Chains A and B, each alone.
Chain A
Amino acid sequence: MDAIVEHTGFASNEPEAEKIIKLAVMALGGQGGGVLAGWIEKCARSQGYAVQTTSVAGVAQRTGATFYYLEMAPNEGKEPVFALMPSAGDVDIVIAAELMEAGRAVLRGFVTPDRTTLIASTHRALAVSEKIAPGDGRADSSEVMASLEIASRRLIADDMEAKAAEAGTVISASLFGALAGSSALPFAREAFESAVKDSGRRAEASLIAFESGFQAAAEPVAISARVEEFKHAELPDPKGKDSLLAKWRELELKLSEIPAPARDMAYRGLRKVVEFQDLRYGREYLDKIALAARSDREEFGFELTREAAKHVANAMAYDDVIRVADLKTRRSRFVRIRGEAGAKDEDILRVTEFMHPRAEEICGMLPAKLGRFVEQNPRLMRIIDRLFNRSRRLRSDTFLAFIRLYVIGGMKWYRRSTLRHAVESDHLENWLTAALIYAKSDYRLGVESLRARRLIKGYSDTHSRGQSKFDKIMNGIERVSSREDAARWARLLREAALKDSEGTELDGMLSTISTFASVAEFSEADSAAKE
């Protein structure tokens, strides 16, 4: 069958088909794609065009990808025959209400370099598959942005969602403005605007968003400037009592002993641990980083120190009850939450926290010795569990709930005596020592061992699962440590562990490792025998 059928590819249309303007709208359910298509149709009709809209609206409200397609031509008596769906390589204008949907339009061949004006919103609405990975499963936006430029004849790309949000409406309005601003349709701005005005409800907000969309298209900024470049914001200098600031300066001075490429990371880490506990804790942190720096080598760009600065800070600022309570009761948080909710000063905002401590967390708060004793006594654990393990919803805007959190959040003075602190410190010590030993014989493996720490995160069950994955990786690393490609395996193990929560991929990779590890042992034994 395929033998007879040739793909016509980009072969140009004959002139007759070019009289028709073809426009596709790719959106997500709930973004107002239908409203947008309606506006375009109305606008074109008012300008004496014959128009046809079709849609696949089966799941329009249910967050999946949706599709609207319009064709139009000047009305010259007899009705034109319009197609009901777009053909690859034969679409003049594509409007995509989200970055990956723009990518999908390219993928489906609706955006082609010879003809298509692409109006795309650069914001992201993540698909479920991108969100559920325990690591970072997000699709590569920069790759898609680059493709949009290549694939389209003309690209208008901007964060149309932000513009709509600013105006308090949905994205259809800013996209419609961008369509008007692009001059891709032969209609004057007023024709577009009156379509919006006629739609009645919320027309005002829509017109504001329309205006900013129009501007974005009419005065396009260079695309490269729009690609989200990851530049870190400057950190504000710490504020506080002079005595504290003086001690902080001392720490900052000590920071200069850290190799330059790792210094920024160490500075951030230092802030984090001091904020978590106190200045003394910060000094301990710097000592640990200095330890890593001593094993480090310049030819690798001090990667070891940088990774240590990052992961040691995270390990030292572990998520205990005190930290959570402290963060929940800060003034700056209250200000942020009110801002997010758009609450004005006189507005009332109630805040409910969802807490659920288990016996383990309670036990972790006990003095280390007592905590260990309780932990090893299942009966005691059951009693504690019965007493404490229940859902606690705290209205942190009320005095009684606030004061409970406030008191806990102020227990930093006691933190160093807790079981949790002892456990975390031991763990940190073992891990850092192991990594630095690996680094001596295999620099890259040392770096990868530090990075394995990324797996430990979350609370309760999630935390234990992360911990067990971390242990598995460290065991795996031990097994491969004598191999030349050990660092590669360590990286693969970490990547596998971050892919699914159950650790299925990780276990698969570990069993691979165990096969060749045993082969290696065998062949070692074999060669020893020969000698």
Chain B
Amino acid sequence: MAERSFAREVQKLKLGDGEIFEGEGILAITKALLECGVGYVGGYQGAPISHLMDVLADAEEILGDLGVRFEANASEAAAAAMLAASVHYPIRGAVTFKGAVGVNVASDALANLSSAGVTGGALIIVGEDYGEGSSIMQERTHPFAMKSQFWLMDPRPSLPTIVDAVEHGFELSEASGTPVMMMVRIRTCHVTGTFKTRGNRRPPLTVRDALANPRREYSRVVLPPMTYVQEQDKIRNRWPAAEKYIFENRINEFFGPDDSNIGIVLQGGMYNGVVRALQRLGLADITGESKVPLYVLNVTYPLLKDEWIEFAARKKSVLVVEEGQPEFIEQALGSLLYKNGCDTALPGKEFFPMAGEYTGQVMLDAVAGFIRANAPELLPDRQRAPNREDELPEVPDLSKTVPIRPPGFCTGCPERPIFAALKMVEQELGSHQIAGDIGCHLFAALPPFEIGGTTMGYGLGPASNGAFDGGGEKRSIAIIGDGGFWHNGLSSSIGNAVFNKSDSVILVVDNFYSAATGGQDILSSRAGNSTKSTKHPIAEAVKGVGVEWVREIDRTYDVGRMRDILREALTTDYSGPKVVVASSECMLNKERREKPKREAAIKGGHRVVKPRFGVDEEICTGDHACIRLSGCPSLSLKKLDDPLRDDPVASIDRFCVGCGNCGEVADAAILCPSFYRTDMVCNPSRFELFLSKARRLIIRGLQDYRARGRLDFGTA
């Protein structure tokens, strides 16, 4: 079960002709797929398109009714490979994953697919994870399209244009026999809006039909000599066919007057930002009616030579708005101008930063700069020479005061005790070479744990320690999550370690889900899933590929045991790969499922025990050692109303879920006796009530007896 449920929203996917859809971008994309008669869908989760996978999973019933196959692929490579169904069969297929890392993983399949070419429309929806909120290295997906020659769409970020782009994507793919990638940026995935729907279409040929009537065409096999033929076909036939389709269907758009001597050419995804800058400068109205000609590239690869030359030829200067680097589009457009003998100036990165997101301020500064330099007469007077409004007070600089707040482990996260244990082992045995992987566990690299220094890709953590496989005075440690393990890790990391007789330690963090991407099920998930096969233990898989030294811990909160196992792995005489599988359920998912159940049970009169932690303020001395082994959002500080105490003491907030980490760490690391756990017993049995009353009576008696001989200062 994913972190966010779309069970209610997916009902919108059933809307028919002429109805109004209202909702998020990802849902609109799904609806558009169904309107286009898609035959199969799949993908791999990852921000910003995780929710697209969640929507598809929650819509599985609706998809099934239409004869559409949904596959939760094992990786982006598997997803891209699935598009092979569109190579020989006229079936539309769509897969989704994140860029640029997901595209990296998928690129083997994408290159083969592009060479073979397709019969049915093949659409790849890529969530471009770039700029604020991104979780990966800052790169572009764009060059993948260039190298493999598939087409790249970057539609304007509004629901109606995205929905149109899906349909155009399929048609363009079919018209040119080439897969098409549609790029959506982080905010576009979650943008809300409305569009007019059409009824869903059953695929004309379903995948089941295709299975009954297999086809093959020798010319589509990616093997020499056909590969040479395919390369020629790309250039001679598929490319011109694509240009023709894009041109005839006016997929790229023009806005503004025809007669201006300046213009702006932009990626579709940049449209709203450019219009906002123009609105602020008085050059566009609220609906986007512009005084500056705009050439909006809803397809950013290939570029249409004629369309471009016609737009640019008679202009003095055209600004290129292309986010990220290198500036592939700007170079290509410049080359086209030069080769066609045009002397139009083509500024782009002169006004914009080469690297980094085009934020509102960047856009305003660049567009204003361009207009001021080339057509100042367009600007209203006060924009031509802006004065700073000096009467406004100077806002104090808070950059040294406001602390950074990177994401971290949630309250009650089962991974926290694993890293507390690892930190304690390192305090004992010294620091180690530690490699990380992709996933929630990577938050351990941040304070307070500061564990792990590299991430080389999903499922590649242990593989990235390959050079250290020979061992030495100390052993290398690699951490890998269950998501990474099944994505790629079993073969590339575990198999690699076994084959190379690696003397290393591999720590598999098993939280029952692909948690960082939103809690999607994977092979080793413990929950039943009616459409997927789960409950395949990681330890069995590891043994299956030949690991002999395997330790499992099924309650990561047992910090002492976790530490002992890690110590054993680092010090044992055994010289082959040592795998520790640490399992406990992701607290976010667990609480989401259990909390409503618990509340219902309490209401229904059933016996329920509610745990929580607390700190004795008088006993806590304010050294914060517990926090340095935790970092839990619920474990915070409190300044006491006591001038004798300089330092704030530990304090636990109302969102504590009673996971146990505080007590276990205080105990295992021998920190202090300030922590206590309370268990509230709701709806207890009669015997329990009696026992509790008797205990309290005796205890109260003893307390009163002692109090009589002392002064009471009212300390709590």
Contact = CB atoms under 8 A, between A and B. Distances in A.
Interface stretch (B33-41, B240-248, B283-291, B542-550): B283-291
Given A58-B47, A275-B711, A341-B612, A87 B364 contact: yes
Given A16-B285, A63-B410, A138-B648, A88 B680 contact: no
Most chain A CB within a 10 A radius of its CB, from B395, B612, B668: B395
Contact of B392 (A113, A329, A341, A459): A113
Given A17-B279, A128-B448, A393-B667, 11 more contacts: A56-B133, A57-B47, A79-B287, A103-B401, A125-B633, A135-B647, A241-B709, A333-B616, A402-B699, A406-B706, A466-B623
B44 interface: no
Interface in A393-449: 393, 396-399, 402-403, 406, 409-410
Interface string A9-33: 1111111110110000000111000
A186 B689 CA distance: 56
6 contacts: A54-B192, A63-B407, A355-B673, A391-B667, A460-B671, A501-B623
Contact of B671 (A138, A150, A314, A459): A459
Interface in A79-127: 79-90, 100-101, 103-104, 106-107, 109, 111-114, 125-127
Contacts of A399: 695, 698-699
B625 interface: yes
A507 to B, nearest CB: 17
Nearest to A346: B689
Contacts of B405: 28, 63-65, 100-101, 104, 127
B273 A84 contact: yes
B663 A352 contact: yes
A238 to B, nearest CB: 4
Given A268-B642, A347-B681, A457-B622, A19 B447 contact: no
Contacts of A245: 711
B641 A90 contact: no
Contacts of B440: 62
A239 B276 CA distance: 70
A461 interface: yes
Interface in B434-479: 440, 443, 446-448
A110 to B, nearest CB: 10
B703 A329 contact: yes
A348 B689 contact: yes
Q: What's the dominant secondary structure at chain B's contact region? A: loop
B243 to A, nearest CB: 28
A64 B407 contact: yes
B388 A14 contact: no
A274 B714 CA distance: 13
Please provide the 4 A-B residue pairs with the shortest distance between their CB atoms, ordered closest to farther.
A87-B360, A14-B282, A56-B133, A64-B407
A241 B655 CA distance: 42
A353 B712 contact: no
B614 A340 contact: yes
A195 to B, nearest CB: 14
A64 B407 CA distance: 4
Contact of A462 (B271, B411, B623): B623
B401 A151 contact: no
Interface string B382-397: 1100111100111111
Interface residues of A, number: 157
A187 interface: no
B406 interface: yes
Contact of B702 (A127, A406, A457): A406
Contacts of B285: 16
Interface residues of B, number: 150
A473 B645 CA distance: 20
Contacts of B137: none
B262 interface: no
Interface in B513-558: none
Interface string A33-74: 000000001000100000111111111011111010000010
B201 interface: no
Interface stretch (B163-171, B218-226, B345-353): B345-353
B716 interface: yes
B135 A58 contact: yes
Interface string B596-626: 0000000000000000101010110111110
B408 A128 contact: yes
A113 B396 CA distance: 12
B359 A80 contact: no
B560 A391 contact: yes
A271 interface: yes
Contacts of B401: 103, 139-140, 143-144
Contacts of B272: 81-84
B295 interface: no
B441 to A, nearest CB: 12
Interface of B: 3, 22, 47-48, 129, 132-135, 157-158, 185-188, 190-193, 271-273, 275-276, 279-282, 284-288, 349-351, 353, 359-361, 363-366, 368-369, 372-373, 380, 382-383, 386-389, 392-399, 401-411, 440, 443, 446-448, 560, 588, 612, 614, 616, 618-619, 621-625, 627-628, 631, 633, 635-637, 639, 641-648, 654-655, 663-664, 666-673, 675-682, 684, 688-689, 692, 695-696, 698-700, 702-704, 706-716
A458 B625 contact: yes
A225 interface: no
A165 B653 CA distance: 11
A131 B667 contact: no
- Highest count of chain B CB atoms <10 Å: which of A56, A114, A232, A393: A56
B681 A462 contact: no
Contacts of B399: 107
A512 B447 CA distance: 27
B134 A58 contact: yes
A85 B407 contact: no
Contacts of A57: 47-48, 133, 190
A20 B272 CA distance: 14
A168 B288 CA distance: 45
B408 A354 contact: no
A100 B403 contact: yes
B1 to A, nearest CB: 14
Given A79-B287, A332-B714, A410-B706, A354 B369 contact: no
Contacts of B688: 348
A324 interface: yes
A411 B187 CA distance: 65
Nearest to A231: B641
A319 B698 CA distance: 27
B648 A83 contact: no
A58 B186 contact: yes
Nearest to A340: B614
A319 B619 contact: yes
